[in-house]
Structure 1
Amino acid sequence: MAYLEIANLNKSFPRAGAPPLEVLADLSTAVDEGALLSILGPSGCGKSTLLNIINGLDDATRGSVTLAGTRVTTQTRSNVKISVVFQQPRLLAWLTVRQNVALPLKEMGLQKDEIAFRTDRYLRLVGLEEFAEYFPLQLSGGMQQRVSLARGLAIEPDLLLADEPFSALDEFSARRLRQEFVRIWAETGKTILFVTHNIREAVFLSTRVLMITTRPASVHLEVDVDVPHMRHPDDDTLFALEKQITREFLQMEGEAVA
């Protein structure tokens, strides 16, 4: 049995005076524990809605999500510990870097020694231990996003949901953070779902790419990325796969317009 199973997932939202807005349509996939799956699709296709259902923040209209053997709904969330890293860092400007990372640990009720240990560990993992007493506005955008990642990892989740975390960064910063992200995934062994609309990013990061269609979203393509980590961004095999997926993506968008 897969770690995460999504079976015939449908999601629609009611609209006053109009038919329901269909967002997901019979979407099915399975994810093994320890995988890094990129969910690739056009903007507005329902990727974030899918993450919300997996996280137990919203219910499917039909179909199911099963995580570590438990069916996930807003009423019956899995015992799996889930963390989310968003497109924006969402740091509190009046708290230091250390205090931002420690905040969810305090909410979990951990002891002070454990909070200090985890905060130091994950700031070191993202390479920001020297900036622990800085405030977010003293850091670059890329550094702020690394603080956000440290905060997400510090709760030591079983499943990390990353919702376009590098899309607001310049390409130089994003490329460097992708390499850091893969290194952290390799060191921690977490299962990660990484939402993106950047094909190059999806290919570089992932063990598998799941391409979903325009709304209402269903699975268009699933591709294994059989290139060992650590990878180089200019690897010819990755580039060939990127071209293949780009052709599929353009074909999918053309069919949607036709």
Structure 2
Amino acid sequence: MSDSYLLIDDVKKEFQREGDTPLRVIDGLTVHVENGALLSILGPSGCGKSTLLNIINGLDDVTSGRIVINGTEIGVKSRSAVKIGVIFQEPRLLNWRTVRDNVRLPLDEMKIPRAEANERVDRYLDLVGLAEFGDYYPLRLSGGMRQRVSLARGLAIEPDLLLADEPFSALDEITARKLRLELVRIWQATGRTIVFVTHNIREAVFLSTRMLVVTARPCTTHLDLPIDIPHPRLPEDDRLFEIEKQVTRDFMRMEEASA
């Protein structure tokens, strides 16, 4: 599958420990992700999901194997060769900057001309439904609105890949449900490839074109499951519920086997 947009190719990651054997966190993980996919990654706490995101983001190097994004092999030294947007669990906004200035911050760092940067800021704030809130400061916004600002900031760099690290886990369920619907709408509108990490099986099933379930540390693939139900989806769709039940049963068996 040489045409994979994102290739995680037999990746292993170990951390050295003084006076002890290396700690292996990822053990031969291989994933092929097509352009425009929304891939969710689900696994037990502490299994290495965040480590994997850091490697994909070029913040850390593999011990062996490789990460390739749109034909470019990624590592700490080559991180600047691709544009990767990130949405974190917390919005990580600067409270002394306006919404518009927060979204423009990475564009200023990229030295995007101010006129183009302002146009992008306005376009992506409009896309996330916050066109009227550009002059607000983050502390005047709800938690869900702040997360929308974070999403606009991640999209404004027009990334080759968008990484989402449990972005809705700190929100109440009603707000999280609304933002899942918004994320799908924005994903379809932009065509971006998204890697979405979550602990929530229902969330993963609802959002994803594919689900990757990984094992406990050292993590490797346990289940690679396409979700073939077309978007837009309804959260109450019985077909999604059946997939959720299947994945939950399989996940519990995996947890019991590793206990």
User: Could you tell me how far 1:56 is from its partner in structure 2?
Assistant: 1.4
2:99 and 2:212 mapped to 1: Cα distance? 34
Distance of 1:124 and 1:191 partners within structure 2? 20
* Residue 27 in structure 1 maps to residue 29 in structure 2: yes
SS in 2 for 1:120: helix
How far is the alpha carbon of 1:221 from its aligned partner?
A: 0.2
Return the offset for 1:78. 7.0
Distance 1:243 1:211 in 2: 14
| Structure 1 unpaired stretches of 5+ | none
Q: CA deviation at 1:112?
A: 1.9
Distance 1:116 1:74 in 2: 30
Report the CA distance shift for 1:35/1:126 in structure 2 as closer, same or farther (over 3 A): same
TM-score normalised to the size of structure 2?
0.97
**Aligned counterpart, 1:80:** 82
Corresponding residue SS for 2:90: coil
The answer to whether structure 1 residue 247 and structure 2 residue 249 are counterparts is yes
Q: How far 1:77 sits from its partner (Å)? A: 3.6
Structural RMSD (CA) = 1.1
1:224 to 226, 236, 239: 226
CA distance in 1, matches of 2:157, 2:74: 20
- One-letter identity of the residue aligned with 2:119: F
Q: Under a length normalisation based on structure 1, what TM-score does the superposition of the two structures give? A: 0.97
Structure 2 counterpart SS, 1:231: coil
SS at match of 1:60: coil
* Rounded Cα–Cα distance in structure 1 between residues aligned with 2:33 and 2:48: 18
3-state SS, counterpart of residue 81 of structure 2: coil
> Judging changes above 3 Å, is the alpha-carbon distance between structure 1 residues 76 and 134 closer, same or farther for their aligned structure 2 residues?
closer
Structure 1 pair 131/78, CA: closer, same or farther in 2 (3 Å)? closer
Corresponding residue for 1:51? 53
Q: What is the distance in 2 between the residues matched to 1:185 and 1:24?
A: 28
The 1-side partners of 2:233 and 2:66 are apart by 34
Q: Which deviates more, 53-62 or 178-187? A: 53-62
Corresponding residue for residue 130 of structure 1: 132
| C-alpha displacement of 1:57 | 1.2
Structure 2 CA distance, aligned partners of 1:30 and 1:222?
A: 10
- 2: CA distance, partners of 1:244 / 1:209: 12
Read off the aligned partner of 1:33 and give its amino acid letter. Answer: N
Q: Which residue of 2 aligns with 1:139?
A: 141
Tell me the amino acid that sits aligned with residue 58 of structure 2. Answer: G
- Rounded to whole Å, the distance in 2 between the matches of 1:108 and 1:74 is 18
Q: What residue in structure 1 maps to residue 169 of structure 2?
A: 167
Trace 1:161-240 onto structure 2 (pairs within 5 A): 161-240=163-242
Matched, 1:113 2:115: yes
5+ residue gaps, structure 2, are none
Which residue matches 1:155? Answer: 157
Deviates more, 1:176-185 or 1:45-54: 45-54
* 1:79 shift after superposition: 3.1
Deviation, structure 1 residue 63: 1.4
Q: Kindly indicate whether residue 93 of structure 2 is the aligned counterpart of residue 103 of structure 1.
A: no
Q: Percentage identity across aligned positions?
A: 63
